[in-house]
Each structure stands twice: as structure tokens, then as C-alpha cells.
A and B are shown apart, each in its own frame.
Chain A
Amino acid sequence: MSTSHVLLGLLAAGNRHGYELKRAHDTRLPRAKPLAFGQVYATLGRLQRDGLVVTAGQEREAGPDRTAYALTDQGRAALAGWLAAVEPPMPYVTSALFTKVAVALLVADLNAARSYLIAQARAHTDRLRELTAVKTAPSTTLDDVVAVDYAVAHLDADLRWLRTTLARVADWHREVHP
């Protein structure tokens, strides 16, 4: 996920200070890892160096949190380009889940791989329930629902994969250790 593009997007709505950007980020992407202030300023610094944002007016006691930033034309173009670009749909199959089962079969036995798959399926099921509860909580916002929907769909897909792989892992083990 590209923090710089999110910041460019937030600045498209008008000039903002660093702390406002952090707050807006955490509101619009409620289930993301909250942005650290340091990361906001480091990213703004890079965007400024690349000419995508400029500082726009400073209050007297200048410090990073007193500086407002504005999007440049170049920044606007970069944002539009990013928004229009289709993300490559899973160009590489990389997942900690998949990798762990593969390595477990290499270095440990079949039972270790199975135990891992079962423990992971249980953890996924618990998390699925936890996130689903967010959707039915009375105070839920649409920001939350949309974020949670994304996670639910992916956990659900992972769970299907975990179950299918449990059914295949014995055959897979025989193939790895003929």
C-alpha cells in the first residue's frame, strides 16, 4: 500500500497540515495500521523533493506540524496516473501461509504441517468472527463496513484454501519426499 498516494489523495481535497493528514488517513482507512507522525513527515519530505507537493504558508513558529502542504500539478498528475492504473492481479503467489506449509513439509513432518494448518484455520475463524461483529455493532460506520468486508472476503478465501490444503497435504508430502 502506498502511503504517498494516500497523502496525495488527501491533499487533493485542499491544503493540510501534517497532523491533519494523519487524522484524515486514520479516519478514511479505519482498519489500516495507524500512520505514525514520523512516517507522515518523512513521506511529505520525499513528495516535496520530487515536486509533487509544496509547502503552502507557514504559521509563525515554523515546525513541521505548523506547515501546510499543497498538491502541485505534477502531484495531481501522479495521483491520477496511480488511480487509473489497474493493479496486477496477484502476479506472484506469495503468502506467509503458503510458504509456511511448503517449508514445514521440507524440514518437518506431515503432522507439523497439519498442526500448523489447523491452528491457522482456527485463528482465521476467530478473526473472521471478530471482524464480522464490527459489522453488526450499532455504531459502525460505512468506512468500517467497507474495510471489514475486504478483510472478511480474504479471510474467507484463506479458510477455503487452508481446508483444501489440509485435504491435499498428505499427497503433497509424498511428492516432496518420494
Chain B
Amino acid sequence: MSRLQARDVVRSYGPTPALRGVSLDVADGEIVAVTGPSGCGKSTLLHCLAGILRPDEGAVRWNGERIDTWPEAARSRLRRTEFGVLFQFGQLVPELTAAENVALPLLLAGTGRREAGRAAGEWLDRFGVGHLADVRPGAMSGGQQQRCATARALVTGPRVIFADEPTGALDTLSGEEVLTQLVQLAREQGTTIVLVTHEPRIAAYADREVMLRDGVVDPTGLGLDETLVPLPAAGPGTDPR
């Protein structure tokens, strides 16, 4: 059974429909890319899966449990423990140093100060920014901030990482380096990744790709108008796994 599941998820913002019935199954340790043109609903789907947004209709399940009906406090606890979230612009706390930022999720989860500090240093080292431990985000480059944010997303040892355009603000080489490290660590630890991106090159880091188009899964998997496209084989979006 897949550990993470969306079933017929519908979500609108006022009159604007963002998701019009999306189903997705993600297996343990799988890396899935969610792709599609701007405005197709990628971020909305990611937020629904991560328990940040509640769908209007449909269900989101984690370990077989309906997390979409949980109260906000329980969903936010889930995001501090089993889920890790990573956005396009790292979203570090500006008043805190890199090490304090990375230690924060551990402190919130009740880890002791010493142990949290040690783990933070270790993760910063793994992402090649150990020398910036005492620096605040304002004095770092975008790429350095993103490495810190990635360390912060991984420090609690989450089962799933939700990443929304995590390399969108980086140049090609920095983006590839961050992503390579993220994927290597995930494979090492059996972490699941849901990776939102609109770039085929980034999506290629995933085991498979699910393409959205106007709030639904695109059966062509190529972002093409279905009425024009003869479908020679099942596209990746229809993978029944």
C-alpha cells in the first residue's frame, strides 16, 4: 500500500478552481516529480499532501489515516516530525543564524540544546555550508540559504520531503548540487520526496513524473492537448502503482 495518497482532491481559492479531482499514490522511498505549466495546481497539490492546505473535497491519507480531517495542531505536528517542507526561497528565519535555523525544528520537537546544535552543525557540513553556521541568512547568497534550508528540512529525519521548486532561485550548477545531495541523502535513508518543478531536467531526478494540466493529471504526460494527441502508450501520469 502506498504510504501517501491523494484521492479525488478538489481545491479552489474562492471562485478559482486550482485542483479539479487529483489522485496520486506515492510509495515509500519513492521520488515523484509533479510538473506542469504555471498555474496548473502543483503548489496547491503539494500543500494539500503536506497538510498545509485542506482540500474542499476528496481525501489525503498518510499511513492509511485521513490527515486532511485532522485539526491544524495535529497537522502542524506532523510537519515537524514525519514531514519536511522545502520552498523555492529557503524561508529561513532572518533573525537566527544558519545553525540556529537548522536546530530549530529539533528544539521544537523537544531535543536538547546541545544535541540539536551538534546535529545542525553536522547537516550544515553535509551541504557544504558548515563554515556559515554563525552567519544570518541576510549575509548569505541564495544558494547558501537554500543549502541551509535543505539541511533544516532534513534534520529531523522526516519520512517525506515536500519540495516546491527547491532549485528555482538557483543557477544551474548550484541547483544541481543541492538536488544531487538531497536525492543522495533521500536514497540513503529511504526518504520519500515529492518534488514540484516545471523543468524536465529537474523532474528527471525523480523516479517518475506526474504532470498536471488545469488542475487535473495530464494523461498524455507531455503537457499536450489530448484532443490532438494519439496516445500510443499509457503515460507516466496514469501509472496505477
A129 and B230: CB pair below 8 A? no
Which residues of chain A are near B73, meaning CB under 8 Å?
none
Bound Cα distance A115, B229 (Å): 8
Number of contacts between A and B (CB, 8 Å)? 50
For chain B, what secondary structure do more than half of its interface residues adopt (helix, strand, loop), or is it mixed?
Answer: loop
Instruction: Report yes or no: A128 in contact with B204, Cβ–Cβ below 8 A.
Output: yes
Using A118-B229, A118-B230 as known contacts, say yes or no to A132 and B224 having CB atoms under 8 A apart.
Answer: no
Residues from chain A with Cβ under 8 Å of B206 in the complex: 129
Which residues of chain A are within 8 angstroms of B209 by Cβ–Cβ distance?
125
Contact A129 B204, beta carbon cutoff 8 Å: yes
With known contacts A122-B233, A135-B176, A152–B222 Cβ distance under 8 A: no
Asked if B14 is an interface residue, CB under 8 A from chain A, the answer is no
Bitwise, A156-177 to B at CB < 8 A (1) or not (0) is 1001000100100010000000
B221-240 toward A: CB 8 Å interface, digit per residue (1/0)?
11110001110110000000
Is B200's CB under 8 angstroms from A136's CB? Answer: no
With A136-B180, A136-B184, A138-B184 given, is the CB distance from A118 to B222 under 8 Å? yes
Closest 10 CB pairs between A and B? A132-B204, A128-B204, A136-B183, A129-B204, A156-B201, A136-B180, A136-B184, A115-B230, A159-B200, A132-B205
Name B's A-contacting residues (CB within 8 A): 176, 180, 183-184, 187-188, 200-201, 204-207, 209, 220-224, 228-230, 232-233
